[in-house]
Amino acid sequence: MGAAIKSTISNEYLPNWQKITELVHLSREIDRVEVEDLVPSRQMFYQFSAGGHDVAQMILGGQLNHKHDAITGYYRSRPLLLNFDVKLDDVIAASIFKNGGYSDGRDIGHVFNHAGENGPSALPMCGGVGAQFTPAIGWAQAIEYHSKTLGNKAYQGAIAVAHGGEASCSTNGFWSAITIATTLNLPIIFYIEDNGYGISTTSDFQTPGQNIAANLASFKNLHILDGDGTNLSETAALTYEAVSHARSGKGAVLLRLTVPRLSGHSAQDTQAYKPAEFIENEKKRDPLLKLEQFVKSEIMSPEEWQQSQFKATNMVAKSLKSAQSRSDLNPDLLTKFVFSETDETGQYIAAKKGGLLAAGDKFLPARTESDSQGPRINMIKAIRQTLDFELKSNPKMMLFGEDVGAKGGVHAVTAGLQETHGHNRVFNTSLSEEGIIGRSVGMSMAGLLPVPEIQFRKYADPACEQLSDIGTVRWRTGNRFAAPMVVRIAGGFFKCGDPWHSQANEVQFLHAIGWRLAMPSNAEDAVGLLRAALRGDDPVIFFEHRSMLDHAWARRPYPGDNFIVPFGKAKTITKGDDITIVTWGAMVERCEAAAKVSGKQVDLIDLRSLSPWDKDAVLSSVKNTARCLIVHEDNITAGFGAEISATIMSEVFMDLDAPVKRLSMPDIPSPHAPSLLDVAVPSVQKITDKILEITSF
């Protein structure tokens, strides 16, 4: 067992040096086998050794012992993972294209995940440097929510750890996370291992003076710890202090440890850019040498040390054999788990972490029939009423974004909800879309239902990396993790346009993997689609069109508290045999007006949701009318109309009597002046002209 180390901070903590030794031996042996055998024989492609970082990681790993602790790591975090209850066979299988592992061959072996059932979890890693920080914030905020708002004592004392190298401290995600952690006093450790290089780039490019801890010394609410990650007693003491600080509710910690990188950035990297002297010095700093010296003098005999090495060699050899004998990957499963899936009884196949089932809430049965009796309300009120009811029904739901609190959002949609549901459930955030969306990842994986708001469509851009990673998480972890959430985004033109507040660009999310997208044209559909999103098990973009929020045409009676519009079901607004018009969002009202003006019998289809979109409704209508016009607000090139048109061509080409036409904005940003906007956005006149052109073809 452990021996007391000299600590300037506390004598309470006794690291289990024997276990640390065994795990470091194991980690080094996996590295050795990978570098000497698996990479050269092309059984694996990507290898990132953590040699030099590993001893410090084992010291930290030994202290992550709370059931609800979680780490977000990066490709050099595998030693930390070895502290959790993962199977060694899985660790090895993950890299060599065999079934099992953490992703069934879908992701790089070092890009791991681990859904700890009774111990810590490793949230799914991302290949993007810096993407690990804001999801860890979400986990930390979820710990607070579970323990303080929901009163679940099991979360008390849990922490999140975000692990990165010094170069990752230059990223947007890092700064966003630091702001949130320190303004909210969250239980999180920023655990930074500084090896002085980001691939070949020296750390003087990352922060002046090359020490992020020194530069953050005056940051309020951030406890800074800085030391030598090869000095065992110092590392153990600093790590203990970091963990104790975060666990005791005192707020966020940044722990920076300097370590050598004893190999290239990856197995292919020759390190030709490092001076030979520097490499020699790194070898001398190898913390394993120091560990050997220390444990042999105080804890293990030389024979026991050797036995630990043999044990690691045998374990890795055995696991490698077992991993190699696993079945090969099944290409038939390649497209499984892009979205949530249901079993034969209609129940969701639960992800191990994240999702509706984890939330475990029971809802009244949904109705697809509106029981609308009341007055016509605008879309703002309809969305607000739906959010209000769902917040009441689901204690795990949280609503947040810039200005959504006391002001009720810049579009007034969330007005009054903070008063009703409290500051823990409806709250303002810092101005960081990366932070708004990134934290939603950790919250969702912790079993909550985040409903973040993005103020204007264009301002989702800073969150692009998180959005794209969220969509792929279920697939890349083979359904081990999912991150369902409902991202409310206001966008599209209003009375005037402009390049910043008036973009639609919904197609970007349709090209992204794993997102559902709804774009309602009216208040009734907004209620039904939003409720379907909030009770579904996938990430959803819910597009609130600015010009429809208070449009008279879009006002409808509230259709009831359990009214749902299933995704992928279009609505036929008018029936006709002359031409099919396919449209959505703000264009529906204009198309309806144009249909009337044209005097033609128009089969007008409002798609309502674009992922999935109702192909059957479109194809069967076109089969009947033989003519089709697609109208959208988004730009023409690679707009969603191109997808619909291509589908019609390939599925029902022989039924057509005229070419399929698209009408949209030209390829320009939205213009500000109303006179220019009128020309840019498809008008009733332009739509009418197109109807007549196509019907007279």
Shortest separation between residue 131's beta carbon and ligand TPP, angstroms: 7
Kindly tell me which of 261 and 516 has the beta carbon lying closer to ligand TPP.
261
Of 66, 68, 501, 545, the catalytic one is: 501
Kindly tell me which of 205 and 653 has the beta carbon lying closer to ligand TPP.
205
**Cβ-contact 141, 179 below 8 angstroms:** no
Residue 170 φ then ψ, to 5°: -95, -5
Residue 250 φ then ψ, to 5°: -85, -5
Structure tokens that stand for 600 in this block: 């033609």
Kindly tell me which of 165 and 560 has the beta carbon lying closer to ligand TPP.
165
The three-state DSSP-derived secondary structure of 626-673 is CCEEEEEEEECCCCHHHHHHHHHHHHHHHHCCCCCEEEEECCCCCCCC
Kindly tell me which of 49 and 522 has the beta carbon lying closer to ligand TPP.
49
Shortest separation between residue 647's beta carbon and ligand TPP, angstroms: 34
Kindly tell me which of 112 and 494 has the beta carbon lying closer to ligand TPP.
112
Shortest separation between residue 203's beta carbon and ligand TPP, angstroms: 7
Bond into 682 cis (ω within 30): no
Shortest separation between residue 171's beta carbon and ligand TPP, angstroms: 7
**Cβ-contact 26, 82 below 8 angstroms:** yes
Say whether 553 sits in a helix, a strand or coil.
Answer: coil
Shortest separation between residue 115's beta carbon and ligand TPP, angstroms: 24
Q: How many CB atoms lie within 10 A of CB 495?
A: 8
Q: Which residue is nearest to ligand TPP (CB)?
A: 165
What distances in angstroms separate CA 129 from CA 126, 171, 173, 648, 663, one per listed residue?
8, 8, 9, 41, 40
Residue 480 φ then ψ, to 5°: -75, -35
Say whether 624 sits in a helix, a strand or coil.
Answer: helix
Angle made by CA atoms 271, 276, 277, in degrees to the nearest 5: 135
Shortest separation between residue 129's beta carbon and ligand TPP, angstroms: 4
Shortest separation between residue 69's beta carbon and ligand TPP, angstroms: 22
Kindly tell me which of 194 and 544 has the beta carbon lying closer to ligand TPP.
194
What distances in angstroms separate CA 194 from CA 23, 229, 334, one per listed residue?
21, 9, 38
Kindly tell me which of 168 and 340 has the beta carbon lying closer to ligand TPP.
168
DSSP 547: T
Kindly tell me which of 194 and 614 has the beta carbon lying closer to ligand TPP.
194
Closest C-alpha among 589, 595, 587, 626 to residue 688: 595
Closest C-alpha among 464, 361, 459 to residue 402: 459
Shortest separation between residue 145's beta carbon and ligand TPP, angstroms: 29
Closest C-alpha among 33, 13, 14 to residue 25: 33
Enumerate binding residues for ligand TPP (CB under 6 A): 76, 127-130, 164-168, 195, 197-199, 261, 265
Kindly tell me which of 125 and 449 has the beta carbon lying closer to ligand TPP.
125
As a whole number of angstroms, the distance between CA 201 and CA 508 comes to 33
- In DSSP notation, 30-76 reads HHHHIIIIITTTTS-S-----TTTHHHHHHHHTT---TT-EEE--TT
> Which residue's structure tokens are 């030994």?
62
Shortest separation between residue 29's beta carbon and ligand TPP, angstroms: 20
Rounded to 10 degrees, the C-alpha dihedral 236/242/248/252 comes to -170
**Cβ-contact 259, 197 below 8 angstroms:** no
DSSP 149: I
As a whole number of angstroms, the distance between CA 190 and CA 643 comes to 44
Shortest separation between residue 210's beta carbon and ligand TPP, angstroms: 12
Angle made by CA atoms 520, 524, 525, in degrees to the nearest 5: 30
Q: Does 501 qualify as catalytic in the annotation?
A: yes
Shortest separation between residue 168's beta carbon and ligand TPP, angstroms: 4
Kindly tell me which of 164 and 528 has the beta carbon lying closer to ligand TPP.
164
Kindly tell me which of 44 and 383 has the beta carbon lying closer to ligand TPP.
44
As a whole number of angstroms, the distance between CA 669 and CA 658 comes to 30
Write out the catalytic residue numbers: 501
